[in-house]
Amino acid sequence: MKEFEIALKIGKELTEEQLRAEAARKLGVQPAGVGTVRVVRRSIDARQDVLYRYKVEAFRAGETAPEYALPPYQDVHDAEPVIVVGAGPAGMFAALRLLMEGRKPIVLERGKDVHARKRDMATLATTGAVNPESNYCFGEGGAGAFSDGKLYTRSSKRGDIREVLHQLVAFGADPSILIDAHPHIGTDRLPIIVEKIRQCIIDHGGEYHFDTKVIDISPEFMEEGVGEKSVATLGHVRVSALTPEGEKEYKASAVILATGHSARDVYEMIHGKGWALEPKGFALGVRVEHPQWMINQMRYHGKYQPFMPTAEYSFVHQEDGRGVFSFCMCPGGVLVPSATEEQSIVLNGMSNSARNSKWANAGVVVQIEPGDEPEEYRDRGPFALMDFQRDVERSMYAYTAEHKREGQNPLAAPAQRMKDFCRGLESKDLPKTSYTPGAIPAPLHELLPEHVARRLRRTFPQIDRQMHGYYTNDALLFGVESRTSSPVRIPRDPETLQHPACPGLYPCGEGAGYAGGIVSSALDGIACALKAAGREMGREMEVVDN
C-alpha cells in the first residue's frame, strides 16, 4: 500500500482516471496492476491558491485493502438491561454500543422526541417562552441535535472515532464525513439521523422513554453469605423518574448518566445525596456574528467563489494568563437562544448542511478556572462556577428586561458592535442579525465580568493580525456564550468509570466533565457502555485535533 497526496483547485473534479494514473506512478506499476484506490482525507488549503488536498491510499492488484467493519447490533429483547439517562450523543452512542454488546438499553429522556421538540424551539424563537424540559439543550438528540453538527474534536480520548462516523453514515449522514478534515452534518439532517438511531435501538429490543426526568438514583445492596462472612454486593441501581403518569422506578445493574452540561438539577441531586462533585473550569464570553462574505474574503484571501465551501475560522490566543479562543464556529449559520431556564439569556449557533445563511457566528470565550469566580461564590463548594455561570446569564436578561421595547421578545439579547465594545462605547445602532428574538444595544464591556471583558477587548484587535478585517464594527457581539462545557465534574474511577459513591453508576459525556462536543461525547458514551457491559475498552486511540 502507498499513501500519497493530490492537490486540486477547488471546483475541479478529482476523476477516477486521475487517481488510478497517479496510483500507478506511486506504486511503480502499470495501471492494470493497481487494485483499490481510495481517498481517506480531504482538507482545504487556502494559503495561496484555494486547493483541496486529498490523501489517497493505493493498493496493488491482489493486495487486500482493509475495510472497517462495525460489530453487528444484537437482538436484545430478552437481554439484561442497562439504563441510559439522557438521549444526547453520549447516551445514543452508549445505547448503540450496548446493542453490539448484547445488552438492552433503556433510554430515559426528560425531553420530547426530536420531532415534537422542534415545535418548542419554534415557540422559543417567536415568544421567548423557555420550556425547561424541551429546548436547545434538552430533548432527544441532546444539545447536538439542533446545531451545526460539526464532527471534529480537539480531545485525545480513548475510543475509535470511526465507530461514531460510520454509524452516522449508516443512519443517513453524507459519506463525505468519513474523509473531510472538518466534517459537519447540519441541523436540517441531524433530526432524521437521530430518529433513525432511536428506531434501530427499539427495533433491536431497546426502549426509549420520553418525558421521563430522572430525579433520584440509589444503589441497592444485597447481603451474600451468612454471619461474619456476609458481604454486601450491589444488587442493582434504582432510578426514579417523573413522567406524565407520575413517578416511575427503573432498575438495572448499570446506569449510564449522560445528562449534559445544562442539567443543573442532576448535579444538585448528586450533591444532595452527599456524593462527591468537583468544580471544573469552563469558558465564558460572547457570540460574535460577522457577515459571512467577510469571513469568506478573509479566509480565502479575496479569492472566494460561490462554489467554494463556506469559510470557517478558529483561533486560540493567550491573554493575561488565560486562553481566549473561538468556540463552535457556525459558517453560514444562525444564532439561537439556548437557555434552559427562564429569565436568563444564553446564545449558541447552528447551521444547515448547506451552510448558506448570510452570517457567520462563533463563540469567543475566555477560559475560567476554579478560583476565577468572584469572592461571593467561594463558599458554594462544587457549585461556585455553576452559580457564577447562572448569574451571568441572568444579568444579561435583567439588562434587556429593563431596556426592551414593549412587546419585544424576552429573549432579545444584549448586543454591541465589536469596535465599540473594545473602545468602551455603547453602540448607537446595530446591524442586521440572524438572531430571531432580536438584539438590544447594551454595554457588554460593563455587563460581562471585568476579567472576561478585559481579555476579550484586548483579543479582538490581535486576531485582526491573523485574519485581516476580523476586527470591525460590522461584527456584532452578543451576551452571553456560557454553556461551553460543564462547570462541574462528576468524579468517576479512571479504570472502572464508576462513581466512587455509587457502584454501577457511570457518569458519562459532557455533563459529567469527560467530553466536549458531539464526537467526544459519543466516544465517552461508547467507553461507558463497554464498561457497563463488563467489557474492556478497545485499544487506545488518539483522536487527531482537526
Ligand X SMILES: Cc1cc2nc3c(=O)[nH]c(=O)nc-3n(C[C@H](O)[C@H](O)[C@H](O)COP(=O)(O)OP(=O)(O)OC[C@H]3O[C@@H](n4cnc5c(N)ncnc54)[C@H](O)[C@@H]3O)c2cc1C
Q: How far is the CB of 293 from ligand X (least distance, A)?
A: 22
Positive or negative, the CA dihedral 118, 122, 123, 129 is: positive
Question: Within positions 341 to 400, which residues make up the interface with ligand X, using CB under 6 A?
Answer: 348, 350
Q: How far is the CB of 233 from ligand X (least distance, A)?
A: 27
Q: How far apart are CA 121 and CA 135, in angstroms?
A: 6
Considering the complex, state which of residue 261 and residue 417 has its C-beta at the smaller distance from ligand X.
261
Under the binding rule (CB under 6 A), the answer on residue 113 touching ligand X is no
Q: How far apart are CA 389 and CA 123, in angstroms?
A: 25
Question: Within positions 65 to 104, which residues make up the interface with ligand X, using CB under 6 A?
Answer: 85-91
Q: 272 is written with which cell numbers?
A: 444532595
Question: Within positions 321 to 340, which residues make up the interface with ligand X, using CB under 6 A?
Answer: 328, 336, 338
Q: How far is the CB of 159 from ligand X (least distance, A)?
A: 14
Segment interacting with ligand X, rule: CB under 6 A, options 33-41, 105-113, 379-387, 528-536: 105-113
Q: How far is the CB of 481 from ligand X (least distance, A)?
A: 10
Contact 465, 477 (CB under 8 A): no
Contact 420, 426 (CB under 8 A): yes
Under the binding rule (CB under 6 A), the answer on residue 159 touching ligand X is no
Q: How far is the CB of 268 from ligand X (least distance, A)?
A: 11
Q: How far apart are CA 71 and CA 253, in angstroms?
A: 24
Helix (H, G, I), strand (E, B) or coil at 531: helix
Considering the complex, state which of residue 412 and residue 543 has its C-beta at the smaller distance from ligand X.
543
Q: With CB under 6 A as the rule, give the number of residues binding ligand X.
A: 43
Determine which residue in the list 81, 111, 437, 479 makes contact with ligand X, applying CB under 6 A.
111
Q: Phi first, then psi: give them for residue 13, nearest 5 degrees.
A: -95, 140
Of 362, 341, 366, 369, the residue nearest 448 (C-alpha):
366
DSSP letter, residue 177: G
Under the binding rule (CB under 6 A), the answer on residue 106 touching ligand X is no
Q: How far is the CB of 49 from ligand X (least distance, A)?
A: 28
Q: How far is the CB of 200 from ligand X (least distance, A)?
A: 17
Q: How far is the CB of 371 from ligand X (least distance, A)?
A: 25
Segment interacting with ligand X, rule: CB under 6 A, options 136-144, 280-288, 374-382, 493-501: 136-144
Under the binding rule (CB under 6 A), the answer on residue 263 touching ligand X is yes
Under the binding rule (CB under 6 A), the answer on residue 139 touching ligand X is yes
Considering the complex, state which of residue 137 and residue 360 has its C-beta at the smaller distance from ligand X.
137
Contact 511, 485 (CB under 8 A): no
CA-based end-to-end distance of the chain: 25
Considering the complex, state which of residue 19 and residue 480 has its C-beta at the smaller distance from ligand X.
480
Considering the complex, state which of residue 128 and residue 509 has its C-beta at the smaller distance from ligand X.
509
DSSP letters, 323-339, are: EEEEEEEETTEEEEE--
Of 246, 172, 252, the residue nearest 207 (C-alpha):
252
DSSP letter, residue 274: T
Query: What b/e sequence results for 356-395 when a residue is b if at least 16 CB atoms lie within 10 Å of its CB, and e otherwise?
Result: ebebbbbbbbbbbeeebbeeebeeeebbbbbbbbbbbbbb
Determine which residue in the list 42, 97, 103, 150 makes contact with ligand X, applying CB under 6 A.
150
Q: How far is the CB of 352 from ligand X (least distance, A)?
A: 12
Under the binding rule (CB under 6 A), the answer on residue 509 touching ligand X is yes
Using CB atoms within 10 A of its CB, is residue 421 exposed (0-12), middle (13-18) or buried (19+)?
A: buried
Considering the complex, state which of residue 283 and residue 518 has its C-beta at the smaller distance from ligand X.
518
Site residues (vs ligand X, CB under 6 A): 85-91, 108-111, 136-139, 142-144, 146-150, 213-214, 258-260, 263, 266, 328, 336, 338, 348, 350, 509-511, 515-518, 521
